[in-house]
Amino acid sequence: MSARGSVDDLASSHPLGIQLPAVYADDDFAQRFVEGLDVVLAPLFNVLDCLEAYFDPALAPEDFVDWLTSWVGTELDGTESLELRRHAVATAVSLHRVRGTALGLSRAVELAFGVRPEITESGGASWSARPLGPFPGEHRASLRVTLTVADPSTVDPYRLQAVVAAARPAHLPFTAEVSAGKTLTPEGN
């Protein structure tokens, strides 16, 4: 990974020498002095000229993508591939929109582990023309997330707990488990 600001022979887009008062235009010392400042300021001007690209996850430098993942609240641990981190930043708004729902939980787990989880919840919804009807769902609120993978040892159960805790409905107690078996792919196969 290269560091910005160390680009060889990067010229300043706003050289200071031509902006000095006319009395310094022919002063060799003043021109050389501000050329040294141009070398220091050129990377800054370069970043400012390209600032919109830094906020585009497809174009941003890798270290800036890492900063963006924390800025937009993705549930990543930093070990993911650069492509996955870029995708997480790009889809963060749509994930926050469905956060706390079964769909949002499923997408968050799938983004973190590449496998769609099985989600079982205790709730339900119903209507009745008569008052005091039976409540739908179970009496005790619960949420169970099962991640089925070919080799359970490849999945960090603590990471799964953290992702589920962050994406679940806030009021629901939950269990998250990893089991062996045929995985549910994003396409449903």
pLDDT of residue 1: 46
Phi, psi for residue 148 in degrees, rounded to 5: -100, 120
CB atoms closer than 10 angstroms to residue 46: 17
Is the Cβ–Cβ distance between 145 and 175 less than 8 Å? yes
The answer to which of 95-109, 130-144, 169-183 has the lowest mean pLDDT is 130-144
Over its C-alpha atoms, the chain yields an Rg (Å, rounded) of 27
Q: Please write the tens of the pLDDT for every residue from 107-140.
A: 999 988 889 999 998 877 777 788 887 777 777 8
Is the Cβ–Cβ distance between 145 and 176 less than 8 Å? yes
- Residue 75 pLDDT > 90: no
Q: Please write the tens of the pLDDT for every residue from 23-66.
A: 888 888 988 888 888 888 888 888 788 889 888 999 998 888 98
Contacts of residues 167-170 at CB distance under 8 Å and 24 or more positions apart, as own/partner, are 167/75, 167/95, 167/99, 167/100, 167/104, 167/105, 167/108, 167/109, 168/100, 168/105, 168/143, 169/100, 169/101, 169/143, 170/100
**How high does pLDDT run on average in the chain?**
84
Phi, psi for residue 45 in degrees, rounded to 5: -65, -35
